[in-house]
Chains A and B, each alone.
Chain A
């Protein structure tokens, strides 16, 4: 255990010694679903392509290739809108079996380098390669080799960020996307993060970013002018995290055994929603976002509960849960109506999610049917 409480500049280990910087790689496949589709049907390469739901069923785009992005198509956009932007868009329904197979192949490649692999979803993972001897111990060369192997063995491209912690590695993997990588060395962290816009910090969404802008903080460097106590007074517990993240400090370990306990999505609205009807109207976008993320989980544990979270304009909040076995689209409006009735005021934030059953997937238990978790 590291001492965390008051130390903000450099982490110390239990003996009070400075711990050496870690080497974290964040690997992120480029437009993963679309890349798998193009690999399996080479005739599609070069054409704008998206994987997603049908426009008739309020479908949304899960992923699109770079040709489609040139038309302004983005993931989480409604399919109907994407087709207006790009009428020649090739739209394919998702085939998660093939995506999972590719994802497993990629994880096997990662595990050739380190057992410390934490998958975030089918197409993203953190690797802790501190102390790994391969490639003369160079994380930069390891990332290069891993990306070359993904390309040769799986037939798709990936981008990577290499940094002393998860936060910066994740930002860095976006820097030279697609099919590229970017290194932030320990001595470069300070300058790199100082120039970073505040909305690159995870947890800073549209609404928090606007608030920070109003307070005069556009970059992480601007934010450093704030005392920790002031940030906590303004943003609560999240203020303490902001204080550390804007200095490039993130000590979260790469956890290969992380068991996901829940999955949820939430939105804070720039203008409060007046009544239940407005809330219900805001629900489909949230549900689409949730379903997109739910589908990306690799072999999720059984679902135990569905919940709706409502934060009212006066910052009181309520969460309503119901036992379910699978996320049922018809359930969300029912839960929302019931949760809203508890406050019956204007609403500033809505969230939906599921909690997974615990202790169902025992570690070490072998499966009867090949291909199961």
Chain B
């Protein structure tokens, strides 16, 4: 029974959109599979890891009969990738085997029934909808996502907090040592302030898939789930059920000292100083004196790196340590020419912001070196 006549590219693109979340190992064998559903001229591909589900629907597939089946996602993807770019591909289902034909190549793959495939459905209930340009959302994610915790026992930190409040959309991520905050303006204000914690995997998948253009992204928050719709993709994700720490409390308001840096020279100096740090100890000392900032790193072999930058600073001397990764992360993920650095003393946090911009804040705690 013929399911589909198409080309390699027309099938590979939507398959790659959904197959990224398929885990290599699980307890349920069917979760290695992708669901292929043909109805009328619409082809739907769907994959899930139970926490996230991604679906793409593309129209214009005239040939073939209506059916639904599941087949190994990674195998199908590997086969299509290995075919010539615009090869004609036909897919048919014969006696529980899915046959993929292209030119003189033929693959017979084992299947599992579509009825057994787990699906996530949106619950009814309070729904908050937002529409933003994909580019805006993607950029905002990039400004904070690197600060998310990874496998932290405080599970609510292994994700990203989004807050829709009036005409503003805020994102916050923290691993307990540093925190990134970014805000953007919504075209249409939301009636009710809403908060949700997106799981880390969902955030990374969105960052990967959103486009750098002004096409719309629709975000629907309902109960303990969220739906993202963009282009031909619908991504449903569970939300992390937990209480995110009070981020406003740790953003310093009154740090007395401020220095403006050129971002790229500071980044380059830190990258050089980082060469002599180790995986186990990433500490770099910042020694601030009259008109000069020294970045100093040493390691267990008594090697030492010293970088000196001229700065417009004439206040009290300061000697403060930081994990250099936390500084490189923020400087790498910004695109402005200048950054502003506010600080108090060697035991309090530093605040990094963009000149004339209230919409980005990065707070990092020092290290005792």
Contacts and interface: CB of A to CB of B under 8 A. Distances in A.
B369 A362 contact: no
A43 interface: no
B369 A364 contact: yes
A303 B151 contact: yes
A366 B153 contact: no
Contact of B349 (A326, A359, A362, A368): A368
B280 A359 contact: yes
Given A334-B27, A359-B279, A359-B280, A366 B347 contact: yes
Interface string A334-373: 1000000000000000000000010110111111110010
A41 B321 CA distance: 44
B152 A364 contact: no
Contacts of A241: none
Nearest to A330: B27
A325 interface: yes
Given A364-B283, A364-B367, A368-B179, A325 B155 contact: yes
Interface in A68-103: none
Contacts of B282: 362
Given A359-B279, A359-B280, A365 B177 contact: yes
B366 A369 contact: no
B250 interface: yes
B367 A365 contact: yes
B164 to A, nearest CB: 24
A267 B179 CA distance: 44
B180 to A, nearest CB: 11
Interface string B265-296: 00000000000000111110000000000000
Contact of B153 (A326, A362, A369): A326
A357 B363 CA distance: 25
A302 B152 contact: yes
Contacts of B151: 302-304, 325, 357, 360
A300 interface: yes
B250 A369 contact: yes
Nearest to B152: A302
B176 A367 contact: yes
Contacts of B152: 302, 360
Given A326-B153, A326-B155, A364-B283, A369 B368 contact: no
Nearest to B369: A364
Interface in A282-335: 300-304, 325-326, 334
B177 A367 contact: yes
Interface residues of A, number: 20
Nearest to A359: B280
* Chain A contact residues, majority secondary structure: loop
A366 B367 contact: yes
A365 B323 contact: yes
A362 B158 contact: no
Interface string B157-178: 0100000000000000010111
A357 B152 CA distance: 9
Contacts of B366: 366
A262 to B, nearest CB: 15
B365 interface: yes
Nearest to A373: B176
Interface in B229-283: 245, 250, 279-283
A364 B368 contact: yes
A221 B368 CA distance: 50
A301 B151 CA distance: 10
Interface in B336-367: 347, 349, 363, 365-367
Contacts of B176: 367-369, 372
Contacts of B245: 368-369
Contacts of A372: 176
Contact of A362 (B174, B347, B367): B367
B163 to A, nearest CB: 18
Contacts of B347: 366
A234 to B, nearest CB: 41
Contacts of A359: 279-280
B367 A368 contact: no
A365 B367 CA distance: 4
Contact of B178 (A326, A334, A364, A368): A368
B20 to A, nearest CB: 19
Contacts of A303: 151, 153
B367 to A, nearest CB: 5
Residue from the set B27, B152, B349, B366 with the largest chain A CB neighbour count within 10 Å: B152
A161 to B, nearest CB: 32
Interface string B309-346: 00000000000010100000000000000000000000
A340 B90 CA distance: 45
Nearest to B368: A364
B363 A362 contact: no
Nearest to B27: A334
B153 A302 contact: yes
A359 B349 CA distance: 22
A302 B155 CA distance: 10
A366 B365 contact: yes
Contacts of B363: 368
B278 to A, nearest CB: 10
Nearest to A356: B153
A300 B153 contact: yes
B280 to A, nearest CB: 6
Contacts of A357: 151
A173 to B, nearest CB: 30
A-B CB proximity, top 9 nearest: A364-B368, A366-B365, A325-B151, A364-B367, A302-B151, A365-B367, A368-B250, A369-B245, A302-B153
18 contacts: A302-B152, A304-B151, A325-B153, A325-B155, A359-B279, A360-B151, A360-B152, A362-B280, A362-B281, A362-B282, A362-B283, A362-B367, A366-B177, A366-B366, A366-B368, A368-B174, A368-B179, A369-B245
Given A325-B151, A363-B281, A365-B323, 19 more contacts: A300-B153, A302-B153, A303-B151, A303-B153, A325-B155, A359-B280, A362-B280, A362-B282, A364-B368, A366-B347, A366-B365, A366-B367, A367-B177, A367-B365, A368-B174, A368-B177, A368-B178, A368-B245, A369-B176
